Amino acid sequence: MNEADAHPYAGLNILDLSQGIAGPYCAAQFAQRGASVIKVEPPAGDWIRLMGGGREGMSALAVVNNLGKRSICIDATLAEGRALILKLAQRADVLMENFRPGVMAKLGLDYAALAASHPRLIYLSISGFGDSGPYAHKPATDSVLQAMSGMAQLNRDAAGTPRRFGIMVPDTATALYAAQCVSAALYARDAKAAGGGRGRHIRVSLAECCAAFQAGPILDDFLFAGQYKPPITVPAGVFATRDGHIVLATLREAMWQGLCRALAREDWLSEPRYASAELHQRAGEEINRAVAAIVAGRESGAWAALFEQHDVLYAQVQDYAALRADPQMRHMGYFGETEQQPYGKLPLPQAPGSARAQTLPAAPRAGEHTREILGELGLGAGEIDAMARTGLISHLAAVAE
């Protein structure tokens, strides 16, 4: 793969003012594809650096959401700090922020203020619920969005108790939708460059992204409100084996026939109550119970061999360590490594569709590149040191010295 294919966003400058997950992960998608991303953090660093443990402000989420960026710490509550951010924004193709509606306007860094002198700027604002309405200023977290969007209800347990998914679905989905919006805006701007292509203000909320991400279940809920809703496939679900768990599904009649043979229940093939996919669905609970009783009698490996033989759709349930060691994942090079302070080598998934680099770019510590970035703005060492003494900026180089 040549350089243009491996780093299609080379030459693109992004100013990432966001914190947490949705905005930073969106910016990281561009960084891993060659964009130059400057992450602006407050003097204490992005709050995600303190979430979930870790060393020296490098939690797992801080690493994953900031791969390939450079970090500068600026106190934006000070006029001088806002002036520095404004200088950085003038050099950017894209600015990303995820503060509550109105915050950027109070800082004088909103789209209207910046676009007046930088009309080609793509400006991304990520909010919890949108920039107006009764929830506009309501705090939005992953758990809040999973609850209000129906996601926790969709994931309810057998007793009907809603459950939060164990990963940050609202933030991650929003980051990916937002990256698509930014890419489309860049294409539209540059495709019209000959005619003076302009930037635009993109507004994306976690709430709308959670709804879009669940479009299928939401439509199902509407179509079958108050009615019997057939399962998509029978059997389906997670079944306990003698030494683990396995997932089964049948999407076509041939798969159903293969499953019956693998389970040594060829008699089900002539059972009138199971004679069609619709009848399978009607008898779903009965079939799932019967399958569960049979599968519990053997080890996962034994079932895997039988299911492979009969072309049954299945997967053994794996943890993350098993996923990293999985032969298919290793063959395709889906994991790489990053040399990450303060840990050393860390295994990380590659960006989907990207070149398979053996060594992935690391994430920065808070303020790691403050001196370097300010030097690029034309500031001298004496000026930078004076800013550090007043608390306007912070940088690790000053600590090391």
Q: Which amino acid is at 104?
A: M
Q: What is the pLDDT of residue 71?
A: 97
In order of start, what are the domains of the chain with their CATH numbers? 3-215+334-400 (3.40.50.10540), 236-318 (3.30.1540.10)
Structure tokens at 227: 């009615």
- Neighbouring CB atoms inside 10 A of 245's CB total 15
Enumerate the β-bridge partners of residue 37: 14
Q: 350, 357, 354: which is closest to 334 by C-alpha?
A: 350
In this structure, the dihedral spanned by the alpha carbons of residues 47, 49, 52 and 54, taken in order and rounded to 10 degrees, is -160
Q: What is the pLDDT of residue 1?
A: 60
**Phi and psi dihedrals of 97, rounded to 5?**
-145, 155
Q: 216, 220, 236: which is closest to 228 by C-alpha?
A: 220
Q: 203, 139, 146: which is closest to 169 by C-alpha?
A: 146
Q: Which strand (E) or helix (H) includes residue 38?
A: strand 36-41
Structure tokens at 116: 């007046």
C-alpha atoms less than 13 angstroms from C-alpha of 42 in its C-beta half-sphere: 12
Q: Which long-range contacts (CB under 8 A, 24 or more apart) does 330-339 make?
A: 336/360, 338/63, 338/67, 338/362, 338/363
Q: What is the pLDDT of residue 394?
A: 86
**Phi and psi dihedrals of 327, rounded to 5?**
-60, -35
* pTM, full prediction: 0.93
Q: Dump pLDDT digits (tens) for 166-179.
A: 999 999 999 999 99
Flag residues of the chain having pLDDT under 50. 397-401
Sign of the alpha-carbon torsion through 91, 96, 100, 101: positive
Q: What is the pLDDT of residue 230?
A: 85
Q: What is the pLDDT of residue 356?
A: 81
